[in-house]
Chain A
Amino acid sequence: MQFAFYFNSDACTGCKACQVACKETYHLGPDNLYRRVYNYQGGSWDRNESGTYVPDGVFGYFVSIACNHCAHPACVENCPTGAMQKDEESGVVWTDHEVCIGCKTCQTACPYGAPTYSEDDGFMLKCDMCRDERSLGRKPVCVAACPMRALDFGTWEELTARYGEGDVEIEPLPRNTTEPRLVLNPHRKAQKAGSGTGFVSNLDEEL
């Protein structure tokens, strides 16, 4: 079995209910996030004869991203201690805090920057798809929090059957090198990964 997230960028308003519901549930410190929301924007303005400005190709859309619990997780492959593991039963990628030395190699290796280092604890933290909540039959907190119903959770098989394979190669996400188990429905204005047609408008402190 492989659990996965579904994300519909075409319905995401960037409200960050997912990010904050998660963060509050796990009482994460001010510099730790398991899920973050990017705003990708682009376009320019032309001045016309009357002195006003007219938009040219202006667009904006949101991408909410957590750990993608990849089929080939770079974090696991690069972990020097074996603390980072992929659970065979569920496909969930998780950190054994007893073993983790907090070297941050996983964070650097992950194309999505998913693992986050806890200064307080001295080890890496990351999304485990709300293992405890799921053990009581509940969906992951972020999924159930989404006011736009833009997130879903299930097995990779279920989700791809329901939504198709989607496309994870949209800006500002990287090219697919790890087989992320994320079914992403791109926003109708989404830009191809690597196209560089816009930029992430979030301030650094948001990410």
Chain B
Amino acid sequence: METSLTRRSFVAWGAAAAGAATLVGFTGCSSGEPEKSDAGSDGDSAQSEVVAAAETPLVEAGEWLSNTCMYNCSCGVSRCILKVYVEDGVPLKIRTDEEDEDSYALPQRRACVRGRAQISNHLSPARIKYPLKRKNWSPDNPHGELRGKDEWERISWDEALDYVAAEIKRVVDQYGPKGIFCGGATPSTTLRTYDQTVCLLDALGGTVHAEAGTISYGAFPVVDTHMIGGFGMANAPHPLQLRTSELHVLFGCNWTSNLSGNTGWWLNQCRENGAKVIIIDPWLSQTAQVVADEWIPVLPGTDTALMLAICYQWIQDGTYDQDFLDTYTIGFDADHMPEGANPQDNFKDYVLGTYDNEPKTPEWAEPKCGVPAQRIIDLATEVAATDKVNFFASMTSAKIPAGEQLCQAFYTMALMHGGLGTPGHYMGWSGIRSYMGGTVGAGSFSSIDLNPVNPLAPAGSPVYMFYPIPVFSKLDGADWENMEPSETWQSILDGEYGRDCWPEGKHKIDFHAMYLGGGRNYLNQQPNANAGIKAIRKMDFVWADNPYFDPTRQYCDILLPVAGFWEKGNVAYSEDQTVTIWADRIMEPLYESKTEGWIAEELAKRLDLDPKVVNPLTDAERSYVTIKNATIMDGETFQTSPLITISQEEAKSFGIDGAETQDEGRISFTEFKEKGYIKYPQKDDAFVPEPYMAFINDPEGSPLATASGKFEIYCQTLAYMVNSVGYSQIAPIAKWQIGDPEQGHGTQTEEYPLLLWTPHTLRRAHSVNDNVTSLREAYPQECFMSVVDAEARGIKNGDVVLMSSPHGQVLRPAKVMPTLVPGAVALQDGAWINIDEETGIDLGGCPNILQAPKASGGGSQSWNGTLVQVEKYTGKLKLGPDKNTPIVVPVGVEE
């Protein structure tokens, strides 16, 4: 059922689509031609370092354009510069930011391995080339059971749009807006997650989303809101501040793989300049192999026990900052409890075991986290003896059942160490924050004010990522629907979601159609994907728009091909706010692909909606506002002003009548376009406000936005909010608990004795790029396991192993490593599902086949600590190298 394309035919079809391209330069410089001794260099001094006098200069007949990757690779902390060489409309090679100044304060924005592979991604055989219909689907008889294994047929755009419009109308007429499940993102301000079909559905009365939860942030957002009074990731150190710490204590944080950009490079420079780095992680990660002075292996999901033991040791030794706690926090000890709380419920007495007779000693923690007691004591002693400490937690560490308790322990530990608000003292998560100094940012691609809103998501309903749980008091009986993502598929199968303790009890749901476009690979990226396949197969109709025939799209009925980011372009784009990149249009839309805006307008026409309502701006207008509304914020004065000067002539080039111009920017539009980007000119000696500085300087006058105005080590509102939603139960203080009886350390069984965690890989940005051969070669999708566990199972490096959980099975090669803690296995997130229909085994190695559908705490996902077993595979399935495995393409479509 699969078709393999050779590298040459990739480009051949890409070239054909882009129109009459030659392939000059394609074979590059490995042509084998002799280096002619009669041709000299042009004598340019810049070239003398890299060119031998005899070497013949290359002739480049094409042009260098500018772009970037528009994927969610870094949680907003980086964005890289791609220079793309294009000849006759065909992108042929990529270079990056390699000529600018390259200093700590103002580094080059070098693209990571994924950026370097973008030509292969954009020209991939996984592209959906034409509107497609699943062969055995019809409005009268959907044959849902064939989704994912049916053949496909090419249809015209008119046919495809007619089918989609008719099905939307039928389902909405028959079942109302609640008959449609939307796996796409709620429209945001960035091109990256803006799909006008979602606007169209919102204009029709809305759809049910599953955004009442955070896939990325773990338990942090809700904890942050109540315990520290703001988003902790925005209070992580700026790069200039990172170097003021003497010691960096990182829980997880495989930054060179997870964040890319310059984050890991900055930290390595801190180390080279004398700071010490301790990384606590289940494996000696890529980052730790270079950046860590010390690695402390810990079992996945058990950091809370380790943190509590550190706190215990400090209390025993008297090596914590009591004055800081007394001034800036509540709840640490019985003397500082909030009114109405039982004084015995304070943190200190919990840690000491005053009332539960269980002191949280290093010996207590050892069997839980796997770190020897003496190692914990040494760590606690070293941290206490160091003044300026940067405590940093990965989001992953909080993606466990009742993960709030980890966040609480993490912050409590950092608060006990004290010093926050002054240089060198930090407690952060996600990534370091370049944008807390001066910024440059593009204007919004989509105006939230102009977009239709989803009537099923009224104020007070969960706010995706930032406050993902319902605030029932604010909803006040409003008609709302928004599912928790971890449980989505099981909820759909069950016909209800939520908890009995909700004011109206569980919410009933009854879907008949699914929209699985909207910038997400929803099936692949939510836990319990096998249940997802079942749920999808029950629908009358499933459709999507997307550039790629990825696993989610493989299970649809109608597919609408969307142009990739490089085929749209003509926008200013920024992500981390310290560089704004001009994205040229690299090539014309491939094959029959169209923009999301065009698709939504065409559907609107068929549904008697005003196209202007579903797509409020033209492409030209959107393009123009990204430039016109681009701003620079001065890091010293915090004054914001226009970034780009636009002349009448330049404004006209956008094709907008009477566009406003502006004359006070930092760079002209023409210069910006030519250079391809503008960076914030960060100075090495710039002042960046310390996180929490205002509060620390004046705790009375500038209180935190918490109930007490202070950091809340005992946080009643947090416990109340989390417990009222009922996914899990937490205490107002950090406590160690087994958050779920079937998940995490302490719940292993003979059948499933290993703890799974799912680190990111540079092969993908979540699931994007998994269709790229060079990345598949660089990063095989492996079952990472310890030498101890492998030996016990007779597994050798490279053996094919079967990974099983109660929810599914995947087949993968084992990577057996001494650098991974025994008792845990890792499978990297985002691999494309590829189910063998006969056995039900996933050959792609997607961890969501194994993941349990378990909502936790404040609507966070408990990815880590899923129980699995791994065994040497002896069945009949064959598994070749990922790089030689053909990319899945639609079966039955004639080329």
User: Residues of A at under 8 Å CB distance from B?
Assistant: 1, 3, 10-17, 19-21, 23-31, 33, 37, 41-45, 48, 50-55, 58-62, 87, 89-90, 92, 94-98, 100, 120, 123, 125-126, 128, 130-141, 144-149, 153-155, 158, 187, 198-199, 201, 203-206
Q: Are B819 and A41 touching (Cβ within 8 A)?
A: yes
**B1 interface residue per 8 A CB criterion:** no
Q: Are A153 and B30 touching (Cβ within 8 A)?
A: no
> Given the complex, which residues of A lie within 8 Å of B95, measured CB to CB?
138, 141, 144
> Given the complex, which residues of A lie within 8 Å of B367, measured CB to CB?
50-52
Instruction: Give which listed residue, A24, A51, A146, A149, contacts B93 with CB less than 8 A.
Output: A24
B41, B50, B60 — which one has the most chain A CB atoms within 10 A of its CB? B50
Q: Are B11 and A27 touching (Cβ within 8 A)?
A: yes
**Smallest Cβ distance from B795 to chain A, in angstroms?**
13
**B372 interface residue per 8 A CB criterion:** yes
Q: Are A15 and B32 touching (Cβ within 8 A)?
A: no
CA distance A46 to B34 in the complex (A): 57
**Smallest Cβ distance from A118 to chain B, in angstroms?**
9
Stretch in B112-120, B160-168, B169-177 with 4+ CB within 8 Å of A? B112-120
**Smallest Cβ distance from A108 to chain B, in angstroms?**
20
Q: Are A60 and B265 touching (Cβ within 8 A)?
A: no
Chain B residue nearest to A16 (CB atoms) is B778
CA distance A26 to B11 in the complex (A): 13
Given contacts A134-B50, A147-B264, 4 further A-B contacts (CB under 8 A): A15-B286, A20-B113, A30-B7, A89-B35
**B20 interface residue per 8 A CB criterion:** no
CA distance A205 to B773 in the complex (A): 12
Instruction: Give which listed residue, A20, A27, A43, A62, contacts B778 with CB less than 8 A.
Output: A20
Which B residues between 12 and 52 are near A, CB-CB below 8 angstroms? 26-32, 34-35, 37, 41, 44, 46-47, 49-52
Instruction: Give which listed residue, A42, A131, A154, contacts B29 with CB less than 8 A.
Output: A131
10 closest A-B pairs by beta carbon, nearest first, are A97-B32, A132-B29, A90-B52, A205-B881, A137-B47, A132-B58, A144-B98, A13-B256, A21-B116, A89-B54
Q: Are A14 and B773 touching (Cβ within 8 A)?
A: no
**B739 interface residue per 8 A CB criterion:** no
Instruction: Give which listed residue, A42, A44, A204, contacts B798 with CB less than 8 A.
Output: A204
**Smallest Cβ distance from A26 to chain B, in angstroms?**
5
Question: Contact residue range for chain B?
Answer: 35 or more
Q: Are A139 and B50 touching (Cβ within 8 A)?
A: yes
Q: Are B32 and A24 touching (Cβ within 8 A)?
A: no
Stretch in B436-444, B674-682, B779-787, B862-870 with 4+ CB within 8 Å of A? B779-787
Instruction: Give which listed residue, A20, A27, A90, A147, contacts B110 with CB less than 8 A.
Output: A147
> Given the complex, which residues of B lie within 8 Å of A60, measured CB to CB?
284, 289, 817-819
**B243 interface residue per 8 A CB criterion:** no
Q: A50-B366, A132-B29, A136-B57 are contacts. A145–B102 as well, Cβ < 8 Å? A: no
**Smallest Cβ distance from A45 to chain B, in angstroms?**
5
CA distance A133 to B59 in the complex (A): 10
Q: Are A53 and B817 touching (Cβ within 8 A)?
A: no
Q: What is the 8 Å Cβ interface bit string for chain B, positions 396-427, against chain A (1 contact, 0 not)?
A: 00000000000000000000000000000000
Chain A residue nearest to B885 (CB atoms) is A30
Q: Are A48 and B372 touching (Cβ within 8 A)?
A: yes
Which B residues between 294 and 309 are near A, CB-CB below 8 angstroms? 295, 297
B93, B95, B818 — which one has the most chain A CB atoms within 10 A of its CB? B818
List 27 A–B pairs whose Cβ atoms lie within 8 Å, in order of A's numbering. A13-B287, A17-B110, A17-B116, A20-B775, A26-B28, A29-B6, A31-B884, A37-B778, A44-B787, A48-B372, A51-B367, A54-B372, A58-B295, A60-B284, A61-B289, A87-B52, A90-B52, A130-B29, A134-B51, A138-B95, A138-B98, A144-B110, A148-B268, A149-B265, A187-B289, A187-B290, A205-B777
**B76 interface residue per 8 A CB criterion:** no
Q: Are B815 and A203 touching (Cβ within 8 A)?
A: yes
